[in-house]
Structure 1
Amino acid sequence: MTDDPTATLGAWGTLPFFTDDWPRIAQALADDPRQILPPAPQRFAALERLQPDAVEVVILGQDPYPTPGHAHGFAFSAEPDTRPLPRSLANIYKELQSDLGSAPDNADLRFWADQGVLLLNNVLTVPAGQANGHAKLGWQNLTRDVLARLSDRPRAYLLWGAHAQKAARSVDPHQNLKIETPHPSPLSAHRGFFGTRPFSRVNDWLQRQGKPAIQWTKP
């Protein structure tokens, strides 16, 4: 398999990952007989939608939703007609409701990306029905390269859960806003995710930097 995604990635296409790691991962995906999510054209959607210089906020997810029809290349986001909401996203919306008084009316968070929020999973593919099934392919090297590219100026980082926090260990908490809490999944949201008001805290920080606030609740 020789598919080259860099043609649609703009400045991201120069990251070392695409020379050092992608050919091997692409071959592994081509050799995997299982249904792979999201579909190939959507795997780099988060990077295609938002160039490095436009990133103001980074939200790191773990891997795509393993239910066919849900994942579309943006961490925590799902196709607009997804019902019921994925459970982690439902908890994110509960916190949004508590923090800001409302929440989006469907599962599609691409309007966040259009405001400068990079919704990047640490692993960009998953076999259908097998969460973490591609955790050992080496996708994490892309996250490493993305975060290194974004270290050029202050940004806000929402790091929910141990996987995101480990991936972003290199992010300087003095230069950047770094909010680290438990993951919003049903297994951990009640251990310290709820009540952390991450969305208003990010907006307060952005405005102190002279940046516009993110409209989190509606397009």
Structure 2
Amino acid sequence: IQFTKKLENSEEFLSNESYLPQVDLRFKALSLIKQAQDVKIVILGQDPYPNASKACGISFLDNSIKDFRDPKLAPSLRNLIKHLFNANGINFSSISDLKQKMAILPSVQDFFINLSVNCGVLWLNASLTYEKGQQKKHCLFWKPVMQYIFEQLDDPIYVLMGDFAQSYESDIMRRVVKTKHPAATDFLMGDNVFSMIRKLEKPGESVNFIKQRIE
């Protein structure tokens, strides 16, 4: 936050209450990580959900949904869970079958928070704020903040989801997984994101996304 305050126009992006998410949630993802060296995986999305009830400062976490089986679950999050199940040999034959299998997961909020606190998964967006029709403006402001954050980390795996996230590839040049944004209609046709993460993990840093622990 201190680094961000030094940037031009920082007050606008830190304090403007018309931007999403609400002011006190804009650094929520970072607040869940105790130390920079704890971060093992960075999952980088685009920007917050364009809805006040959904946006919460954690990429892909829909804060309006408590249960993964809720029919209103965001398509991007449902697609991520499909990849997660496929990577772990959990097969499903239909949407109703998928929902039954989702019963093994905790609440939506606990899933994300446990992975952050216990496993060092940083759920971040390329832009920490959203304003309708102004995505480029917001991404440009947050770019030096993202670069500063990445410089503090100790060689995690970066999962760059979508074009905005992939614009940071040249800044990272380390262990990188690139995928389409999970909201894309053909996301499920690409390589499995969790299988790609597993291939890049070092001994002793394997994250069990199902049980939310290090193995």
TM-score normalised to the size of structure 2? 0.76
Contact 1:147 1:168 in 2 (8 A): no
- Alignment RMSD (CA, Å): 2.5
User: Per the alignment, in what secondary structure is the counterpart of residue 120 of structure 1?
Assistant: strand
Q: How many residues align?
A: 189
- How far off its partner does 1:123 sit? 0.7
- How far off its partner does 1:190 sit? 4.5
Whole-Å separation in 1 of the counterparts to 2:75 and 2:188: 13
- How far off its partner does 1:89 sit? 1.0
Contact 1:159 1:165 in 2 (8 A): yes
Are positions 1:203 and 2:203 aligned together? no
1:116-160 residue CA offsets vs partner (Å, 9 max, x unmatched): 011111111113xx3x6353140122111112222xx43211112
**Which residue in the other structure is 2:122 paired with?**
118
Listed as ranges, the gaps of 5+ residues in structure 2 are 91-100
2:207 alignment partner AA: I
Q: 1:217 to 1:126 in 2, by over 3 A?
A: same
- Residue in structure 1 matching 2:142, options 139, 142, 158: 139
- How far off its partner does 1:110 sit? 1.9
1:32-88 residue CA offsets vs partner (Å, 9 max, x unmatched): 5x7322111111011111131111111111100111211111111122527511121
Listed as ranges, the gaps of 5+ residues in structure 1 are 7-16
List, as ranges, runs of 4+ consecutive aligned residues in structure 1 with deviation greater than 4 Å.
Answer: none
**Which residue in the other structure is 1:71 paired with?**
55
Whole-Å separation in 1 of the counterparts to 2:194 and 2:13: 37
User: Per the alignment, in what secondary structure is the counterpart of residue 172 of structure 2?
Assistant: coil
**Which residue in the other structure is 1:26 paired with?**
11
- How far off its partner does 1:28 sit? 5.2
Are positions 1:37 and 2:35 aligned together? no
Are positions 1:94 and 2:82 aligned together? yes
**Which residue in the other structure is 2:163 paired with?**
162
**Which residue in the other structure is 2:39 paired with?**
55
Whole-Å separation in 2 of the counterparts to 1:157 and 1:28: 25
Are positions 1:216 and 2:209 aligned together? yes
**Which residue in the other structure is 1:13 paired with?**
none
Whole-Å separation in 1 of the counterparts to 2:192 and 2:19: 34
Task: Select the structure with the greater relative contact order (CA < 8 A; seq sep ≥ 6).
Answer: 2
Whole-Å separation in 2 of the counterparts to 1:65 and 1:111: 21
- How far off its partner does 1:188 sit? 4.2
Q: 1:180 to 1:66 in 2, by over 3 A?
A: same
Percent identical pairs in the alignment equals: 26
Q: 1:94 to 1:53 in 2, by over 3 A?
A: same
Whole-Å separation in 2 of the counterparts to 1:198 and 1:190: 10
Matches within 5 A, 1:1-16: 5-6=1-2
Whole-Å separation in 2 of the counterparts to 1:202 and 1:134: 28
